[in-house]
Chains A and B, each alone.
Chain A
Amino acid sequence: MYKRDTAAATRRRVNQAGRRHFDGGKFQPVDYPHRLNFYTTPPTEEVTLDEFEQWAIQRLKVLTEIESALFRNKTPDELKSILNDLLKRHLPLDANSSRSESLTAQRRTDHYSHFILRLAFARSDELRKRFSKAETILFRHRLMTDDGLEREGFIASLGLDWERLSDDERSELESELKAASGGKKNLEPTYYKIDWEKVPELVERRMVFLKRGMAYVPASLQTAVVVGEFTNHLDRALELTARALPRLDEDERLIPILNHLSHGFTAPEFTSDPNGTHLPGTAITAASIDSLLQHFPACMLHLHTTLRRNKHLKHFGRLQYTLFLKGIGLSVEEALIFWRSSFSATPEDKFNKEYRYNIRHAYGLEGNRRDYKPHSCQQILLEHAPGNGEAHGCPYRHFGPDNLRAFLQTQMGVTDSSVLQGVKNDNEARKYHLGCNRVFEWKHREELKREKESGKGTVKETIIHPNEYFLRSWELAHPDEVQEAAKKMEGMEMKDEVMM
C-alpha cells in the first residue's frame, strides 16, 4: 500500500491510445499563472498512487459538502462561509499576491484532483451531472472570491468570444441597456456583446438586453458568462472522457481507486464501524437503549415511544429504527433481543416468522446480504412519506405544526418558546434540518458552550444524519471518554508508523 509506486507506466499507455486517437498531442508540464483553472489542459506529470488518492479525496470532501449544502437549501451567504472554511482546510488556493510558497503545489493539487475526479465521475450520466454541478459551484465561488485584478487577467486569458461594445453603440442603446439593468441610475461603462446562448441564466431572468440573438452583458455580470462557459466546457469534456473510459488501458491500480471515489460521492451516509461499538467504553445492549434516549433525534425518539406504546411498529418504522440502532452499535443478537421484548404482545412463532427475518435482513444476514446503511435525513425526508398508523419519517417534516410543537415540548423537552418559533419558521422555509439542528443546539447549549470555551470544538457542520445526531450528542455528554479514545487512536497510529 505504501510503496512509492507511480502510475506513470499506465499513463504512458493511455497516452499512446490518446495520441493515436487524436492524431498527435504534446504533453508539457503545466505552469499555473492564474489561481483559477478552466481545466482545459490535462496534467501530465507523474504522481504517486498515494497522492492520486489523497488529492482526490480532499477534493471529494469539498464537493460532497457542496452537494449536501445544496440539498439543505443553504442560502448563498451560508454556502459562501461553508466553502471558505472547507476550502481552507481541504483545498486551499492562494492568490498570486499572497506570494505563498506553496502556490504551485496548491494549484497542482487542484488541477490533478479535478482531473482524477473527472475520471471517477464520467461513468454515468447521473454522476456527470452531479459532478458538473458541484464543480460549477466551486468554480463560481472561487471566481467570486478572486482578487479583482487577477480575475480580470484570468478572464482575459480564456479568450472567450465576446466583443466589447463600442461607445457609439452603447450610447445609442442607452435607454434599453438601462431598462434591462433594472433601473440603475448610471449605465455601466463597459458592456460586452455575446451570443445569448452563452448566458442562458441571464436571459432566463431578463437581466440583459437582447438584440438579434446577442446578449448585451454589463461587465459586472461577466461572472455568469464565465461560469456558464466553465459548465459548458466541463460537460463536453465529461462526455468525451466517458467515451474514452472503456478504452482506458488500465491495470488494477487506478480503477479500484476511481470506483471507490465515485462511491464516496453519494448522499451522505453513515458508515457504521465494522467492530460494532462506537461509544468508547460503553457497549450497547438491548437493555441499555432506554437509557440513551436523551441522545436520540426526534424521529428516532418518536419511533421508540411509539414502539413502547403500541408494542409494535409497521414495516418502514421497523426498518428505519433497526438501521439506526445498528448504526449506533447494537449487534444483531442484541437487536433480536430488543425487538423480541419490545413486541411483547406478539406471539413467539409469529415474531419468528414475520419479524426475525426482517431484522436479520437489515443486518445483511439474509436474502441478498446487503449491508444496509442507516437512513440519512435525506432518505427519511424524501422516501416513503408515512401513512396512516406509521411512525417513521421526520417529525419536522411529517407532523402538523401543532403536533410537532406538542411533541417537542413533551417528548424533547423544549421549553424555550423562541426555539419553538424558530423551528416553525424553519419548517415554513422547508428547512427541516435546521429545525432539528436548532433543537439539538438548544438541548446541548451548555455542553456546546463548554466545548467552545475549551477550544476543542470541532468545526460545526449541520447534522444531516440521525446517527450523527446521536453520536454528537453522546460525545458532548462524555467528553472524557472521547478524549481517552482519541489518545488511544493516536497511540495506535504512532505504532503503525514505527512499524513501517
Chain B
Amino acid sequence: MFDDDEDLIGDDGDDTDLLTAEEKAKVSVKDASFSDPQVMYAFYQRLFPWRQLFQWLNHSPIPSNDFMHREFAFTLQNEAYLRYQSFPTFETLRKEVLRLNPSRFEIGPVYSANPRDRKALRKAVFKPINKELVFDIDLTDYDDVRTCCDKANICEKCWQFITVAIKIMDVALREDLGFKHIMWVYSGRRGAHAWVCDKKARQMDDGKRKAVAAYLEVIRGGAQGGKRVHLRRPLHPHLTRSMDVLKDSFTTDVLINQDPWREPEKSARLLHLISDKTITEALREKWNSEPSRSSVKKWADIDEVAKSGISRHLNVQQLRENKQDIVFEYLYPRLDVEVSKHLNHLLKSPFVVHPGTGRVCVPIDATRPEDFDPLSVPTVTQLLAEIDATTGEEKMADYEKTSLKPYVDFFKRFVAALVKDETTAVKREREKEEAARAAAAGPGMAAEMEF
C-alpha cells in the first residue's frame, strides 16, 4: 500500500477535489502508533520545517509564483488523494495540512497559472513549466540481486546499493552536467530521492530530462530478459569513472554481503553473462561438483578457468568486458527513469513521515553517504517523545530539542546556498534582459507575429 511510488499526472486525470463531510468523519485510525492522526498532527504542528520548505521552493523571501503556483498533493488518512492544491504562503499551507492532516504529501511542478484555477483555464494556458529534476532509486528494483532482504525490508547490507548509487549519481550530476544544488533525501523506507534544484535543472523540458535519465541509465530491461547491460567500448568517461567506484565495493557489497551466485539456479545467470561458451561449460562442470561454492570463489574461478587455457580462442578483451558488464549489472544504480523523465511527476516531499515505517524523510549528506544509516533515522513517535523529555529552555524551537535538528540544519544550509545563488542569478538575468531589450528593438523580433 505504502510503496514509495509516485503518480504521474494524466492530462485528463481529474482529482477528488473536496471531501464530503461524511468522508471527513470516517478518517480511520490506524493501529500503528506512528500513523495515528494525532501523532501526525503534532508532527506537522511542532516539527515540520515549514519555513525552510517554503524557502526551498520559493527561491526568495517574498512569495513568488515559484511557490504560489506549485502543486501539492495530499494523501489523506482515508487514502483519498487530493491533487492540484496550491498556497499563497507557507502559513496557509501549514494551516491546510493541519486541517486535513494528510498521512503524507507530494510536490509537483510549478504551473503557468495557479493550479486552483485550472478548471477555468484552457489546457494550453495551464501547463507545468518547471520542477526540480528528480531521481528515484528504490531497493525493490534490486530484488534479483539482493539476497539479504526482499520487498519492503532493508538492512545495512542492501542499503549499500543506495550508498553506491548516491556516490555515482551525485558526481555525474555535478561534474558532468554541472549542477550544484543537489539534495538527496531518504524516502522513508527502502530508497532515496534526489532533488536537483538548480534553476537550469528546474527549467528543463521533458526532452532534456529524458536525455539526462538516459545518460545515467545503464541497466535496461527486466530480470527475465537476457543481457541487461549493453555498453559501447571504450567506455564513456562517465562509465569509466563509475567503474572505479563500483570496483571498490563490488567484492564486499555484492560478492560477500549478497553472495548472489551461491545457489546453482542463481549462478546460471552469471554463466549466461559470459560469452565464451568453452569457459561457461568448464565453469558449469566445476560448480556442479561443488554446488554451494561461494560467490567470491565463483567470481575468481572465471579468471582461473580462463588462465588454464581451456578455451583455445579465448578473447581476453571480451572476457574483461563481460566481467565489467556483470559488475555494472549487479551494482550500478538502478533508476526508475519514468520519475525523472517527466516535468509533471509528483514526488514525496522531504521531511514527511513514511506511513509504513514512521521514519522521517530526512536529507542524506551526499559528501559522505556511507555514514547514513536508514535504520537510525528518527521516527515520528521517537521525536515527539524527545520534545516531551526536554525541559527548561523555553526559547528553543521544538525541532531543536530532538534528533531531527541535524537534518533540519542541513536542509537550512542547503536552502540558504540555493537562495543565495538564485538571487544573484536573478540580478544578472535582469541586467541581461535589459540589455537584450535595448538590442531587440531592431528587426527580427516582430518576426513571429508575422509571416
Contact B124 A211 (CB under 8 A): no
* A237 located at the interface, meaning its Cβ lies under 8 Å from any Cβ of chain B in the complex: yes
The A interface, classified by DSSP as helix, strand, loop or mixed, is helix
Contact B234 A14 (CB under 8 A): no
Count residues of chain B with CB under 8 A from any CB of chain A. 36
* B154 located at the interface, meaning its Cβ lies under 8 Å from any Cβ of chain A in the complex: no
Stretch of B22-30, B36-44, B200-208 lying at the A interface: B200-208
Among B177, B444, B451, which residue has its beta carbon within 8 angstroms of that of A40?
Answer: B444
* A99 located at the interface, meaning its Cβ lies under 8 Å from any Cβ of chain B in the complex: no
Contact B447 A41 (CB under 8 A): yes
* A231, closest chain B residue (CB): B207
Contact B211 A240 (CB under 8 A): no
* A241, closest chain B residue (CB): B448
* B309 located at the interface, meaning its Cβ lies under 8 Å from any Cβ of chain A in the complex: no
Among B177, B211, B240, B451, which residue has its beta carbon within 8 angstroms of that of A42?
Answer: B451
Among B123, B441, B448, which residue has its beta carbon within 8 angstroms of that of A240?
Answer: B448
State the CA gap A200–B212 with chains docked (Å): 8
Contact A244 B240 (CB under 8 A): no
* B299 located at the interface, meaning its Cβ lies under 8 Å from any Cβ of chain A in the complex: no
Distance between B326 CB and nearest chain A CB, rounded to angstroms: 20
Distance between B437 CB and nearest chain A CB, rounded to angstroms: 9
State the CA gap A119–B240 with chains docked (Å): 49
| A270-313 at interface with B (beta carbon < 8 Å) | none
Among B214, B233, B238, B443, which residue has its beta carbon within 8 angstroms of that of A204?
Answer: B214
Contact A179 B446 (CB under 8 A): no
* A176 located at the interface, meaning its Cβ lies under 8 Å from any Cβ of chain B in the complex: yes
Contact A24 B441 (CB under 8 A): yes
* B434 located at the interface, meaning its Cβ lies under 8 Å from any Cβ of chain A in the complex: no
* B178 located at the interface, meaning its Cβ lies under 8 Å from any Cβ of chain A in the complex: yes
| A94-140 at interface with B (beta carbon < 8 Å) | 112, 115-116, 118-119, 124-125
Chain B residues near A197: list those with CB within 8 A.
200, 204, 208
Interface code A454-470, partner B: CB below 8 Å = 1, 0 otherwise?
00000000000000000
Distance between A24 CB and nearest chain B CB, rounded to angstroms: 6
Contact A176 B442 (CB under 8 A): no
* A239, closest chain B residue (CB): B448
Distance between B243 CB and nearest chain A CB, rounded to angstroms: 12
Distance between B215 CB and nearest chain A CB, rounded to angstroms: 5
Instruction: From known contacts A180-B236, A204-B210, infer whether A25 and B443 are also in contact, taking CB-CB under 8 Å.
Output: yes
Among B175, B207, B210, B215, which residue has its beta carbon within 8 angstroms of that of A206?
Answer: B215
State the CA gap A118–B448 with chains docked (Å): 10
Contact A201 B449 (CB under 8 A): no
Chain A residues near B179: list those with CB within 8 A.
213
* A178 located at the interface, meaning its Cβ lies under 8 Å from any Cβ of chain B in the complex: yes
* A82 located at the interface, meaning its Cβ lies under 8 Å from any Cβ of chain B in the complex: no
Contact B446 A18 (CB under 8 A): yes
Chain B residues near A367: list those with CB within 8 A.
none
Chain B residues near A221: list those with CB within 8 A.
none
* B12 located at the interface, meaning its Cβ lies under 8 Å from any Cβ of chain A in the complex: no
Chain B residues near A112: list those with CB within 8 A.
451
Among B232, B441, B449, which residue has its beta carbon within 8 angstroms of that of A14?
Answer: B449
Among B123, B175, B235, B448, which residue has its beta carbon within 8 angstroms of that of A212?
Answer: B175
| B184-229 at interface with A (beta carbon < 8 Å) | 200, 204, 207-208, 210-212, 214-215
* A23 located at the interface, meaning its Cβ lies under 8 Å from any Cβ of chain B in the complex: yes
| A175-214 at interface with B (beta carbon < 8 Å) | 176, 178-180, 182-183, 196-197, 200-201, 203-206, 209-214
Instruction: From known contacts A41-B444, A203-B211, infer whether A119 and B451 are also in contact, taking CB-CB under 8 Å.
Output: yes
Interface code B59-97, partner A: CB below 8 Å = 1, 0 otherwise?
000000000000000000000000000000000000000
Contact B176 A211 (CB under 8 A): yes
Chain B residues near A11: list those with CB within 8 A.
450
Distance between B210 CB and nearest chain A CB, rounded to angstroms: 7
Instruction: From known contacts A197-B200, A204-B214, infer whether A179 and B237 are also in contact, taking CB-CB under 8 Å.
Output: yes
* B445 located at the interface, meaning its Cβ lies under 8 Å from any Cβ of chain A in the complex: yes
Interface code B226-256, partner A: CB below 8 Å = 1, 0 otherwise?
0000001111111110000000000000000
Contact A200 B208 (CB under 8 A): yes
Distance between A236 CB and nearest chain B CB, rounded to angstroms: 8
Contact B211 A237 (CB under 8 A): no
Contact B444 A18 (CB under 8 A): no
Contact B443 A41 (CB under 8 A): yes
Chain A residues near B124: list those with CB within 8 A.
124-125, 242
Contact B446 A210 (CB under 8 A): no
Among B178, B235, B237, B449, find the residue whose CB has the most chain A CB atoms closer than 10 A. B449
Among B177, B207, B443, B451, which residue has its beta carbon within 8 angstroms of that of A116?
Answer: B451
* A19 located at the interface, meaning its Cβ lies under 8 Å from any Cβ of chain B in the complex: yes
Contact B235 A179 (CB under 8 A): yes
* A24, closest chain B residue (CB): B441
Chain B residues near A125: list those with CB within 8 A.
123-124
Contact A43 B237 (CB under 8 A): no
State the CA gap A197–B211 with chains docked (Å): 9
Chain A residues near B240: list those with CB within 8 A.
179
Chain A residues near B208: list those with CB within 8 A.
197, 200
Chain B residues near A116: list those with CB within 8 A.
451
Chain B residues near A19: list those with CB within 8 A.
446
Contact B443 A206 (CB under 8 A): no
Contact A179 B200 (CB under 8 A): no
Contact B443 A28 (CB under 8 A): yes
Distance between A400 CB and nearest chain B CB, rounded to angstroms: 22
State the CA gap A51–B204 with chains docked (Å): 40
* A179, closest chain B residue (CB): B234
* A212, closest chain B residue (CB): B178
State the CA gap A124–B123 with chains docked (Å): 10
Further contacts, 17 of them, CB under 8 A, given A18-B450, A214-B178 = A22-B446, A28-B443, A42-B450, A43-B451, A124-B124, A179-B234, A180-B236, A182-B234, A183-B232, A197-B204, A200-B207, A201-B211, A203-B211, A203-B212, A211-B175, A212-B176, A213-B176
Q: List 21 A-B contacts (CB under 8 A).
A: A14-B449, A18-B450, A21-B446, A25-B442, A27-B450, A42-B450, A115-B451, A118-B451, A124-B124, A125-B123, A179-B240, A182-B232, A182-B234, A183-B232, A197-B208, A206-B232, A210-B176, A210-B237, A237-B448, A240-B449, A241-B449
Q: B residues within 8 Å of A by Cβ?
A: 123-124, 175-179, 200, 204, 207-208, 210-212, 214-215, 232-240, 441-451
The 9 A-B pairs of least Cβ separation, nearest first, read A213-B178, A25-B446, A115-B451, A240-B448, A200-B211, A18-B449, A210-B176, A204-B211, A204-B214
